């Protein structure tokens, strides 16, 4: 129905519209342009599966919307408390798991089907994604095998702060492995 | 009653310290009812083991820069 040549035309026809749309969602022209570019790249890849049930403009906008949602989700995770990515923080569900990010699978149960080397490799990669400070603290706890009290003194942390950091690092590591292994 | 957020914090803490009896019971009862927290408990113990393995890996394997340094030395001694 449509092909890659069409996508090229759609730049002329719809890019301005998409930019206006993106600008209403994020107030950063540079970032918005990046999204428009990504949107067309995705469109090029997906055009063969686009059946024309909606107009090209609607289809392109839906791709763009997904990119913007992802962007905000990632930003929010980084900006706000890590714990609020994993647990509800108000209402009647307060403190219970947010199901999309919960341990619905046990990564320990994958232990047998993944080689020891791969496990360590993946864990390294996941460790790299931790915020710098919690990486340092995890390093002190596990690599240097220091006790909590010692680390608290070195990093000038209260005991409860220390455990909050370890707790969050574990949530992030676990979730990172779950995404890789399931 | 404590919710998953606090329970998982207690589980984490309990891996290094002995928790007060009240907390140990709270954790136990909660785990009986909550599959997600059971998975977390299993996985955090698994991560502890895995993180310790990394420690051994680091001690028994050369880092890239250590290897480079050795190669440099070997090369230098070859041209001497």
B37 contacts: CB under 8 Å, gap ≥ 6: A97, A103, B4, B7, B8, B11, B30, B31
Write b or e for each residue in B31-51: b if 16 or more Cβ atoms lie within 10 A of its Cβ, otherwise e: eeebebbbbbbbbbebbbebb
pLDDT at B21 over 50: yes
Query: What ipTM does the predicted assembly reach?
Result: 0.73
Q: Are residues A103 and B4, on separate chains, in Cβ contact within 8 Å?
A: no
CA angle, residues A167, A75, A16, in degrees to nearest 5: 165
Sorting pLDDT into bands at 50, 70 and 90, what band is B14?
Answer: very high
The residues of B whose Cβ lies within 8 A of any Cβ of A are 2-6, 8-9, 12-13, 16-17, 36-37, 39-40, 42-48, 50-55, 57-58
Q: Are residues B46 and A164, on separate chains, in Cβ contact within 8 Å?
A: no
Residue A97, strand partner residues: A87
**Mean residue pLDDT across chain B:** 85
Q: What are the Cα distances from residue B12, in Å, to A36, A170, B47, B78?
A: 43, 9, 11, 53
pLDDT at B25 over 90: yes
Q: Which of A129, A15, A141 is nearest to A74 (CA)?
A: A129
Place of tokens 């469109």: A43
Q: What are the Cα distances from residue A21, in Å, to A26, A29, A73, A76?
A: 9, 11, 18, 21
- CA atoms within 13 Å, Cβ hemisphere of B31: 16
Domain parsing of chain B, residue ranges: 4-79
Domains along chain A with CATH numbers: 4-79 (1.10.1740), 91-181 (1.10.10.10)
Q: Best of A103, A110, A134 to disrupt the B interface by mutation (most B CBs within 10 Å)? A: A103
Return d(Cα B31, Cα A164) in angstroms, integer: 20
State the pLDDT at residue A112: 92
Q: Are residues B54 and A106, on separate chains, in Cβ contact within 8 Å?
A: no
State the pLDDT at residue B23: 96
Q: How many other C-beta atoms are found inside a 10 Å radius of the C-beta of residue B70? A: 11
State the pLDDT at residue A90: 79
Mind giving me the DSSP string for B12-54?
Answer: HHHTTSPPPHHHHHHHHHHHHH-HHHHHHHHHHHHHHHHHHHH
Return d(Cα B11, Cα B23) in angstroms, integer: 9
State the pLDDT at residue B77: 73
Query: Chain B within 8 Å of A142 (Cβ-Cβ)?
Result: yes
DSSP helix, strand, coil percent of chain A (3-state; round to 5): 75, 0, 20
Q: Are residues A145 and B55, on separate chains, in Cβ contact within 8 Å?
A: yes
State the pLDDT at residue A80: 53
State the pLDDT at residue A71: 81
Select the more confidently predicted residue: B24 or A81.
Answer: B24
State the pLDDT at residue A79: 47
Phi then psi for residue A115, to 5 deg, are -65, 155
| pLDDT in single tens digits along all 182 residues of chain A | 888 888 888 988 898 888 888 887 776 777 888 888 889 989 988 998 898 889 999 999 999 999 988 887 776 555 456 778 899 987 888 899 999 999 999 999 999 999 888 898 889 889 888 887 888 899 889 888 889 999 999 888 899 889 999 999 999 999 999 999 99
């Amino acid at each position: 129905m449509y092909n890659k040549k069409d996508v090229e035309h759609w730049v002329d026809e719809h890019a301005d519209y998409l930019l206006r749309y993106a600008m209403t969602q994020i107030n950063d022209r540079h970032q918005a342009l990046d999204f428009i570019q990504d949107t067309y790249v995705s469109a090029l890849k997906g055009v063969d599966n686009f059946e024309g049930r909606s107009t090209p403009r609607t289809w392109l906008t839906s791709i763009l919307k997904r990119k913007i949602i992802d962007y905000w989700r990632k930003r929010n995770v980084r900006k706000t408390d890590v714990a609020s990515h994993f647990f509800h923080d108000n209402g009647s569900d307060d403190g219970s798991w947010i199901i999309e990010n919960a341990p619905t699978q046990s990564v320990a149960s994958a232990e047998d089907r993944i080689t020891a080397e791969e496990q360590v490799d993946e864990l390294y990669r996941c460790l790299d994604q931790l915020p710098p400070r919690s990486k340092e603290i995890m390093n002190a706890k596990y690599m240097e095998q220091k006790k909590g009290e010692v680390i608290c003194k070195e990093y000038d942390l209260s005991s409860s702060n220390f455990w909050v950091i370890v707790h969050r690092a574990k949530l992030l590591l676990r979730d990172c492995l779950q995404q890789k292994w399931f | 009653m404590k919710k998953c957020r606090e329970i998982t914090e207690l589980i984490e803490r309990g891996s290094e310290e002995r928790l007060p009896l009240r907390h140990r019971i709270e954790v136990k009862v909660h785990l009986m009812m909550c599959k997600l927290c059971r998975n977390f408990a299993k996985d955090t113990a698994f991560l502890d083991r895995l993180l310790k393995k990394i420690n051994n890996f680091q001690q028994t394997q050369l880092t890239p820069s250590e290897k480079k340094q050795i190669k440099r030395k070997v090369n230098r001694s070859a041209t001497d």
